[in-house]
Amino acid sequence: MTARATRDTGLTLRELLAFDEGGILRLLLAPSGQDVAITGMIIGEEGAARSYEGRIVLAVGVLPSVNDFIREAAGRGAAAVVLRDDPSLDPAPEDVPAEPGTGAEAGAVAVAERAGVALLARAAWADWDDVATLVRSAAAYAGAGRGDRMADVTAGGGLAALASAVAEFTGGSITIEDTAFRVLAYSAIGPEADELRRSTILGGRVPDWRVEELRRSGLLRTLWSSDEVIHRPADGSSPERLIIAIRSGREMLGSIWAAADAGGPFTEGAARALRRAAEVAVPYLVQHRLRESGARRREEHALRALLAGRGDMSTHAWTLGLAPDQPCAVVIADPADLGHPAKPAPPAAAPATADGQREAVVERTMGLLAVQAVSYRAGIRVLRDGGRVMALVPVRRGAERDVLALARELDTLAASLGGAAQGAGPVWVGAGPVVPSPLCAADSRADAELVVRVLRERAASAAHESAAGVGPAGGGGTGDDRRPAGEGPAAGDGRGPRRYASAAELGAALDVQRVLDAVRPVWERGSGPVYDLVRADLASGGELVRSLAAYLDASCDVGRAAKRLVLHPNTLRYRLRRVRDRYGVDLDDPDVRLMLTLAVRLATRPPR
């Protein structure tokens, strides 16, 4: 790990926390007050020769003892220590008085107070890069307020003050923009301002047609690659302009535009003033970026926790702007795993890049599904969770069918992209039930996941039975499509298992799946004739298990079961006698039939 200087600018803990508008850090304790000076940053542990004097120390990595880490940092002169927000900390030492709070965090606070070092916690949604960027930017921000008039003026009023100061120094009208061409600050608009400047300021961003024009002209390419002031001559009604990029190292943060729309030329030192303004603006634009990034990631963290049913549900809903009485539902789109049984395995001779190509197709498909879900209706929150897309859908009263409509749209889009034809497999879409509050979103998410599992397992079962030469079930067996009454053909090409459904449509199938999940641990620990039959037969190919599954699904009607299995009824009767004679399993006993029904379902379905 390395020590990083924050420059000797007199940055204090108070200034650091004030700069942190995104809430990356949370102050737990400041025994010496918030005006303690921070002179540098240590990331992780340093060798014994390195001084921690006045530095803020980030507790990066896995630490044997957080409390010992705090003691050592304090002993070496650290000004502050930053911990993860929810770390596995040591309990409070017996020789340290109890402090407010509970558990491990209280122990760390007590250790820090006794050691006389400030203690902060990193937000759960943030990472250590965010903290390091924050500390460096806060130090630059503190330094930007010293040294010359432009910096001093900006320190008192932010980007708006900087825009006004640059206008004075250059003799032009100023806009400061981020990389998305949104206006962050501007100088006063005079009667001489050209129409483009007016529309840009009133609209809050540069018009799209103007951005495209600048891109075609090559000016944007020049701006992104140059550190110098760019001169753009007057052109018709468009006045002369000076432009400079705002950079932090190699990272592009935004730009400053000066327009000579007051009728006179720029001042002699205009270019020099713009170069200085670009330096002064850096910490302010970094702060803007941290604030925006923090808001997005805080919402993502809240959405992830809300869907998982983890943490303070009311706080998560508030972060997402959802009222506690807002009905909502969850829709999940889940691609077929590369190795899932429902998807044919690639040929052994397939090129080594085939998996990478399939993953690229899946990534593109899921990215487009996420965009489609967001744009389906205002207010929908979307989370990319691993390979899946999860959408939290606020539901208007009387518009519950919108949830299934979104699932249908996602299925239609996925099918139109042709992922299955490119070897990436289908996308399964499950719509959970509408729940009365976002505080119950985890329940809808669990049912949506269950819908996806049932659809996927039916597809796998149908593919397996097709390969084994088993016909479609006449009595609602596991291989049928089981569309709800009134539904048309399966989604997609009209053949094969359906790829999307709602929890209400699948009905009892979800309850059956819950029962199977609950009894699986009992089955895996059990013994006896039924267990011996299933395990031995699966080891030798599973002929009897398949026959039993068809027989039980056909309500013990030999004729219907034989037709499904494409067998002569006497052949099936012979197999059933083998079950009784070889394994001692009495098919006339209702309890045994129930055990067999559960056993064959469990044996032919993978655990979750």
Query: What would the two tokens of residue 579 be?
Result: 């079950």
> In the predicted model, is pLDDT for residue 101 greater than 70?
no
Predicted local distance difference test score (pLDDT) of residue 393: 94
Alpha-carbon distance of 233 to 115, in angstroms, equals 63
The per-residue pLDDT of the chain, averaged, comes to 80
| Range of lowest pLDDT (217-226, 544-553, 599-608) | 599-608
Given this model, what pLDDT does residue 94 score? 45
Tell me the average pLDDT across 312-328: 90
* CA distance readout (Å), 98 to 73, 101, 108, 324, 424: 22, 9, 11, 36, 57
Task: Determine the pLDDT at residue 49.
Answer: 67
Per-residue pLDDT, 97 = 46
Listed residue (513, 535, 509) closest to 524, CA to CA: 535
Cβ atoms of 342 and 425 closer than 8 Å: yes
pLDDT classification of 55: cutoffs 50, 70, 90: very high
| Cα–Cα distance measured from residue 596 to residue 347, given in angstroms and rounded to the nearest whole number | 36
Q: Pairing state of beta strands 3-5 and 40-43?
A: antiparallel
- pLDDT level of residue 519 (50, 70, 90 thresholds): confident
Provide mean pLDDT across the span 253-266: 84
Contact between 389 and 333 under an 8 Å Cβ cutoff? The reply is yes
Q: How confident is the model at residue 465 (pLDDT cuts 50, 70, 90)?
A: low
Among 43-52, 333-342, 449-458, top mean pLDDT goes to 449-458
- Count other C-beta atoms under 10 Å from residue 146's C-beta: 11
| Residue 30 three-state SS | coil
Residue that is written with structure tokens 């307020």 in the block: 145
Alpha helices (runs of H) in 250-322, residue ranges in sequence order: 270-308, 313-319
pLDDT at 264 over 80: no
Better-predicted residue by pLDDT, 197 or 175: 175
What is the tens place of the pLDDT at every residue in 82-97? Answer: 998 754 443 444 444 4
| Residue 243 binned pLDDT confidence (cut-offs 50, 70, 90) | very high
Grade residue 424 by pLDDT with cuts at 50, 70 and 90.
low
pLDDT at 337: 61
Residue 185, beta-bridge partner list: 176
- For residue 528, the model assigns a pLDDT of 83
Distance in Å from the first CA to the final CA of the chain: 41
Indicate whether 339 pLDDT > 70.
Answer: no
Tell me what pLDDT residue 433 has: 93
pLDDT at 341 over 80: no
